Amino acid sequence: MEPKYPGAYESVVYLNDCWDESLLEQNRRTIAQLFVKNKALYERGCRFIAAAASLTYDTYKIACDCTDVEKLERFIRRLCLRCLKSADASKQTGQESVRFLSAVTAQGVTTFHQTVDLLCDTVYVIDDEYGAASRQILSAIRSDALAKRQDIITCYCPLFPYEKIEHIFIPALRLGFVTSNRYHTFENPDYKVIHSKRFYKAEKLRLKKQRISFNRKAIVELIGEASRLNAEAYANHTELESYYIPAMDFDKVNQKVQQTLALLQKRLQF
């Protein structure tokens, strides 16, 4: 991240003088090759994730056309009335924090399930293989919770980090809503399950069965390849670190840490 207004609004903590450049120069060709390889692996992995996202969106659009909208909207109204209440205005202001609970990693799709139990006493699992019903349910919950001035944590899908909500947590109510599908499941006998199949028109979905099946299989392969590339990029980055770690003067780094903390404390006094 480059500072937009250096010195005026942002301060740069310069660490480049903490390494031994002569030591790095001895391995400059190998280091340069590793940086180029790392960039190529990262970009290729992103393309596979983008391709998986494209097919996921195609399945979502099919499901939208097969959704019983009136039935789903009636259910959403009942759910919001039953679960959401207005917040204490003296304690909450309807703030939203955006986080990720899942990610495509070197180990595949990784989900931090333990976070759910740490935040919630009551959890609703929206079991939705197609993504249309869960999107609408979570979007409505988000809007209603914020309208009632509840502070919420919204977790987006790593394939659609700006538009598709996968999970919502309301800490003050110790309440959570999570999406379960073949890529990340939530299995706990104490969780309340919302089966989304009832909101889809089975006959219309059946006509698109072959296309949905193709998308599903291709998505698994694409995410698998993205994970493999992530693993290769991680190994490549570890090799890069093997050159930089011996060249770093960590005592000097620690001195800069202390200087930065002292500066922060001074500024916070004003």
pTM: 0.86
Nearest Cα residue to 175 out of 38, 83, 49, 63: 83
pLDDT at 266: 87
User: pLDDT tens across 58-79, in order?
Assistant: 999 999 999 999 999 999 999 9
pLDDT at 270: 65
Ranges of residues in the chain with a pLDDT under 70 are: 270
CB 125 within 8 A of CB 178: yes
Buried b (16+ CB within 10 A) or exposed e, 96-120: eeeeebbebebebbebebebbeebb
